[in-house]
Structures are given as structure tokens and as C-alpha cells.
Chains A and B, each alone.
Chain A
């Protein structure tokens, strides 16, 4: 049973370039969450998506950041015109959503993408 997959694991971008981070949820999971962990900071929620829908993006910076979870394929977190302050670990988590099991709401994290902006 494969876990949450993220790629690339490490990404280096120059200032002004675009970064695309991909996340494939666990099999059977329909809810995807993105979190960011800045150096010396805690994990911060960014966005919550279900297939073809952004449910909540209250944690997303207003500019340059976008996310999608298409009907087919992985969820994508896109950062345009990256700046040094975007350097962080970006984690994706997934959950099955509503269900009968008490574990339905647990979020399982992927290995993360470490973004370095030079």
C-alpha cells in the first residue's frame, strides 16, 4: 500500500523561475492538503483540495502561489517567480475524508519537497 508520494524530493530554482511540486495521495484518498515548513518555523497549512476543487486556500500567499488537483493525475503546487523567502520544505498530506472508520480523518504526510531558491 503505497504512501503519499511527492516529487521532486529536492528542487533548486533561481530567483524568478517557476517551481512545480507534485503530490500523489494514498490510494483511496480524495483529500489533499499542502503545508509549508520554513526554517526554524512550524508547519503551516496552505491549501486543502479535493478532486477538481479548492476547498480552502486561507493559508496560501495571495500572490505567486496556486494549487490544483485535477480529475486525473497528481495535485500540483505552483510557485511563480520564486524568491529566496520561498525556500522551505513543502509537505503534502492526504486523507480518505468522511467515512465510518475512526481513522477516516487522519492525515498522512508525504516525504516532502525541499525547495531551495538561489
Chain B
């Protein structure tokens, strides 16, 4: 069965960095685009970033562009989100999610359990 497990969250001071990881199993990771989606406390969903199946393309939300970097290691079935220059407004639960179809971006059919990132002094 498909599993996505996020790790690396925690409390960090404004301006500092954090790297999230998402370890995947139960499907051929290298065939699927992967996304990060976040949710501030009590708020709605915000799409953050996507990386194509072979890592040739990445796209970002305007709110994180230039500060966050999405990457993947297909040999380790792992997705990453490097978050630099963190701000209070980056606080929230971060989900990794898998594309429903291989080689194509259309919808997200499996999500991790989410990992909390708190940016606070």
C-alpha cells in the first residue's frame, strides 16, 4: 500500500532554515510527480511546490519562491523541501502528496500524515 511519511519538522527561529523529508513506499516513486501542500493553523490548504517525476521541472507558490527548494532522490524514494529564510507565516502543517497519474500533473491521490513546522522566536 502507498505510504508517505514526512519528517524534519519542528520549532525554528525566524530567518533560519529547515529541511523536510518525505519517504515514499508502495509505488514506483520515480514515475510520479510529487508535491508539498501546507496548512496554517485553522486555515485552508495552500499549495507550495511540485517536482516532476525525473526532477527536470519544479514550480513554486509565489509566497515561497526564492526561499524554498523542492528536490527528490529517486534512488532513496525520498522527497525534500529545503526551507530557508523562514517567516512566522510559514508556520503550519506540511503535507507531501503524490500525483494520481504517472508522468502527469492532475490531482493528488495520496497524502502523508503531515508534519508541523513552527516558526517562532
Partners in one complex: no
Interface residues of B (CB under 8 A from A): none
Interface residues of A, Cβ cutoff 8 Å to B: none
